[in-house]
A and B are shown apart, each in its own frame.
Chain A
Amino acid sequence: MPYEILEHTADLRMRVAGKTKEDFFSAALEGMMRVLAEKPPKFFEKKLRQVKIESPDLTSLLIDFLNEALSLAYINKEIYIKAVFKKLSETILEAELEGAAIDGFDEDIKAATYHEASAAQNEKGEWETVIIFDI
């Protein structure tokens, strides 16, 4: 499983992992979107959104990417099913998000936080981190 929900008293703690940076970022996006909408629509008209982010390191880049996707989701009332990465380095990300319009969200995620987040490769060589979402 690319993402797993762990216990947290007040908020939402999630572990995400991926073989490549692209898989890793996609897993985090999928995990967050699944919290927003447990059952995303199967058939939908594809909505495309462009994101460009620059951050000081990979951990911040991931959190900033999730927060950007979250803002777009709430403003446009959309859920993002897939991210196509045009550029993904340690500090720069350019991607196209593919989404579907939805009527409402299952959960109100206020933000992805930097708290506990630390993107690093584990012993299997996979990228991994824990993310706390404020809900």
Chain B
Amino acid sequence: MIAKNNLIKIHDWLWEIPKSFRADMRVACRIYASEKMLDEIFRDRSLEQLINVSILPGIINFAIAMPDIHEGYGFPIGGVAAFDENEGVISPGGIGYDINCGVRLLRSEKKFDEIKSYLEKLGSAFYKEIPSGVGRGGRLNLKGKDFNAVLKDGAKRMIEMGYGKVEDLENLESSGFLENADPAFVSETAKKRGKDQLGTMGAGNHFVEIDKVENIFDENEAKRLGLFQDQVVILIHTGSRGLGHQIATDYIKIMMMSLIKYKINLPDRELAYAPFKSKEGQDYFSAMSAGANFAWANRQLITWEARKAWNDVLGKEGGNLKIIYDVAHNIAKIEEHSVNAGKRKLVLHRKGATRSFPAQPVLIPGSMGTGSYVLVGEEKSMKESFGSTCHGAGRRMSRHQAKREIRGSELKERLEREGIVINAGSFSGLAEEAPEAYKDIDEVVEIVYKAGIAKKVSRLKPIAVIKG
């Protein structure tokens, strides 16, 4: 069992579990955290799970944890792992069930005071236009080759269908699609689960928010991204819905079967993997990429819905909603990184972690009562964390405990007293996502900032929350 005295302090914001800690570790583990936050991290089994990641074949440099790490299944949530393209593996558990769960930020031309009197109407219009909750279908029900085209081309396909502008693609991670996607490797069950879910938010921690820019930390970067004080922006947090969940379920089973076949013992079956270049590995990568494309298409259609709601309420006076950026925080991608003074192609797994390449906007959603952050990637992240940073606040309280301790109706009243308009499908769903159920987002962001892997640009404050 790992304890605090097993950790080596690299600096105030970075800790190491040495390779010598457990005989089966192939590399050391590195954790971005403050000493205070470490105490919280030790409350669950996330570091044990991080050590389990370090034993996987072909892992490069370190198994890395971000300050928002918490216990998952197989891999912890808030983790980054890079594997050699030729000798390494791909593991669905290192991506998660919600493939390409991610965040998109839209900017308006308006200041808070200009839309303040329309806020209730905007909240209702967003709730009406963007289907939320579980089992509520969206406005599209694509079949056959039309559905496959979405899996193949992601956000681009939605724009071809009229749900956005060509310039929207310029500000999406990977331009909103992964080219390895092949719908032939996605099961019919997965397609059936996703067929009516494009343009829907889902439930759980997914949301659409209207926020205002509360703080600007870096004027130059804010200007470059088109952000200004008191500006109204829209934050969208959702992923690949049932389609992605089913792809993960299907391939975890396939990979688990092959582990049994090859008599490979792992500390946790959810770590199931396949060599990246094997048939199983390539099939999963093609299916996972299709799931990622579905998620980008989903956030594109939600963008269209948000624009519609905005225009319905504010008319032409409301101006345009432009995309600042769109990031994935549950994904595997092929990326080239410097390793031992040479460039190598790696299979980057980010599960609850965000790409943070230099100058790239990074979006960190917080809980609904607190706030969210816009960061920009730093050069140092390329040297230390494979161009990655944190992804959110990270839970500290179980959903069960949150529902037991917090009444949804009281929470709604409290948030409304703070000036936040709430449109939610259920009080219990609201209680599960209460601010006190999450770690302190300011502390999480402060650690990645002080560690030098991302720069703070702006803090956003919610003014209207739309949830399932």
Whether A105 lies near B98 (C-beta < 8 A) is: no
User: How far is it, in angstroms, between the C-alpha of A67 and the C-alpha of B97 when the chains are bound?
Assistant: 12
Whether A75 lies near B97 (C-beta < 8 A) is: no
* Contact residues of B: prevailing secondary structure: mixed
Q: Which of A8, A12, A74, A117 is within 8 Å of B71, CB to CB? A: A8
Among residues of A, the one whose C-beta sits closest to the C-beta of B203 is A108
A114 within 8 A of B: yes
Whether B70 lies near A75 (C-beta < 8 A) is: no
B401 within 8 A of A: yes
User: How far is it, in angstroms, between the C-alpha of A115 and the C-alpha of B256 when the chains are bound?
Assistant: 12
Whether B269 lies near A115 (C-beta < 8 A) is: yes
A10-B77, A64-B253 known; A114+B270 contact, CB < 8 A = yes
A60 within 8 A of B: yes
User: How far is it, in angstroms, between the C-alpha of A115 and the C-alpha of B246 when the chains are bound?
Assistant: 17
Report A-chain residues with C-beta under 8 Å of the C-beta of B135.
Answer: 74, 77, 102-105
Contact with B along A57-73 (1 / 0, CB 8 A): 00010001001000100
Q: Which of A56, A71, A104 is within 8 Å of B246, CB to CB? A: A71
Whether B252 lies near A114 (C-beta < 8 A) is: yes
Whether B401 lies near A7 (C-beta < 8 A) is: yes
Nearest CB of chain B from residue A59's CB, rounded to whole Å: 8
Whether A67 lies near B193 (C-beta < 8 A) is: no
Q: Which of A7, A71, A108, A117 is within 8 Å of B204, CB to CB? A: A108
Report A-chain residues with C-beta under 8 Å of the C-beta of B73.
Answer: 11, 113-116, 132, 134
A107 within 8 A of B: yes
A110-B245, A113-B270 known; A9+B133 contact, CB < 8 A = no
B86 within 8 A of A: no
Of B242, B395, B398, chain A has the most CB atoms within 10 Å of the CB of B398
Whether B44 lies near A67 (C-beta < 8 A) is: no
User: How far is it, in angstroms, between the C-alpha of A12 and the C-alpha of B72 when the chains are bound?
Assistant: 11
B110 within 8 A of A: no
Q: Which of B192, B268, B401 is within 8 Å of A115, CB to CB? A: B268
User: How far is it, in angstroms, between the C-alpha of A77 and the C-alpha of B242 when the chains are bound?
Assistant: 12
Whether B192 lies near A135 (C-beta < 8 A) is: no
Contact with B along A95-106 (1 / 0, CB 8 A): 000000011111
B249 within 8 A of A: yes
Determine the interface band of chain B, counting residues with CB < 8 A from chain A.
35 or more
Report B-chain residues with C-beta under 8 Å of the C-beta of A88.
Answer: none
A9-B44, A104-B134, A110-B98 known; A74+B249 contact, CB < 8 A = no
Nearest CB of chain B from residue A90's CB, rounded to whole Å: 13
User: How far is it, in angstroms, between the C-alpha of A64 and the C-alpha of B250 when the chains are bound?
Assistant: 10
A5 within 8 A of B: yes
Within 8 A of B (CB), among A101-135: 102-108, 110-111, 113-117, 132, 134-135
A56-B257, A74-B242, A114-B269 known; A108+B134 contact, CB < 8 A = yes
* Contact residues of A: prevailing secondary structure: loop
Among residues of B, the one whose C-beta sits closest to the C-beta of A5 is B400
Among residues of B, the one whose C-beta sits closest to the C-beta of A10 is B395
User: How far is it, in angstroms, between the C-alpha of A70 and the C-alpha of B292 when the chains are bound?
Assistant: 21
Interface size on A, residues (CB 8 A): 33
Nearest CB of chain A from residue B320's CB, rounded to whole Å: 32
B260 within 8 A of A: yes
Nearest CB of chain A from residue B160's CB, rounded to whole Å: 27
Q: Which of B72, B136, B400 is within 8 Å of A7, CB to CB? A: B400
User: How far is it, in angstroms, between the C-alpha of A117 and the C-alpha of B426 when the chains are bound?
Assistant: 31
Report B-chain residues with C-beta under 8 Å of the C-beta of A114.
Answer: 73, 252, 256, 268-270, 272
B202 within 8 A of A: yes
Report A-chain residues with C-beta under 8 Å of the C-beta of B398.
Answer: 7-10
B369 within 8 A of A: no
Report A-chain residues with C-beta under 8 Å of the C-beta of B96.
Answer: 134
Report A-chain residues with C-beta under 8 Å of the C-beta of B268.
Answer: 114-115
Report B-chain residues with C-beta under 8 Å of the C-beta of A77.
Answer: 135
Within 8 A of A (CB), among B279-335: none
Among residues of A, the one whose C-beta sits closest to the C-beta of B187 is A71
Q: Which of B44, B136, B192, B193 is within 8 Å of A104, CB to CB? A: B136
Whether B260 lies near A9 (C-beta < 8 A) is: no
A9-B397, A56-B260, A104-B133 known; A134+B97 contact, CB < 8 A = yes
Q: Which of B77, B193, B248 is within 8 Å of A75, CB to CB? A: B193
Of A9, A74, A77, A116, chain B has the most CB atoms within 10 Å of the CB of A9
Contact with A along B17-46 (1 / 0, CB 8 A): 000000000000000000000000001100
Instruction: Please give me the 6 A-B residue pairs with the lowest Cβ-Cβ distance, nearest first.
Output: A115-B73, A105-B134, A114-B269, A110-B97, A104-B135, A110-B245
User: Could you list 6 A-B pairs, sorted by A, with CB under 8 Å?
Assistant: A11-B72, A12-B400, A106-B428, A107-B134, A111-B245, A115-B268
* Residues in A lying within 8 Å of B, measured CB to CB: 5, 7-12, 36, 56, 60, 64, 67, 71, 74-75, 77, 102-108, 110-111, 113-117, 132, 134-135
Q: Other CB < 8 Å A-B pairs besides A10-B70, A113-B252, 7 of them?
A: A71-B193, A74-B135, A108-B134, A108-B202, A114-B256, A117-B269, A134-B73
